[in-house]
């Protein structure tokens, strides 16, 4: 697994998570964020939907990035906000 970050138009950060597994399959990218969608024999298929809802709640967005022959990438933008000091 590889995690990388980059600047997103000066207003946030792009977080990219790439693995080297078998991928989502032919219809996977369009269903990857659907609750209970999984390509595995075990698991609930809730990881990506939960991640997306958290990122959405913070004003970001998530999508399936460019596929490779072996693996997938999921990318998210997270806006940068100035936090008031406590």
Residue 18, domain CATH:
3.30.565.10
- Can you give the residue range of the structural domain that contains 30? 2-79
Domains identified in the chain, total number = 1
Look at residue 62 and tell me whether its pLDDT is greater than 90: yes
- pLDDT for 67 equals 73
Look at residue 50 and tell me whether its pLDDT is greater than 90: yes
DSSP 14-69: EEEEE--SS-S-TTHHHHTTSTT--SSSSS-S-HHHHHHHHHHHTT-EEEE----S
Averaged pLDDT for residues 52-77: 90
Which residues have a Cβ under 8 Å from the Cβ of 14 and sit 6 or more positions away? Answer: 5, 6, 7, 8, 75, 76, 77
58 found inside a domain: yes
- pLDDT for 21 equals 83
84 found inside a domain: no
- pLDDT for 76 equals 96
- pLDDT for 41 equals 84
Q: Which pTM was predicted?
A: 0.79
86 found inside a domain: no
Look at residue 63 and tell me whether its pLDDT is greater than 90: yes
């Amino acid at each position: 697994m590889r995690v990388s970050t980059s600047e997103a138009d000066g207003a946030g950060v792009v977080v990219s998570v790439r693995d080297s597994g078998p991928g989502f399959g032919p219809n996977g990218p369009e269903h990857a964020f659907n609750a209970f969608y999984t390509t595995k024999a075990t698991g609930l298929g809730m990881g990506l939907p939960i991640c997306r809802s958290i990122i959405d709640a913070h004003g970001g967005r998530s999508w399936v990035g460019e596929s490779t022959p072996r693996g997938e990438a999921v990318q998210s933008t997270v806006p940068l906000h100035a936090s008031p000091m406590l």
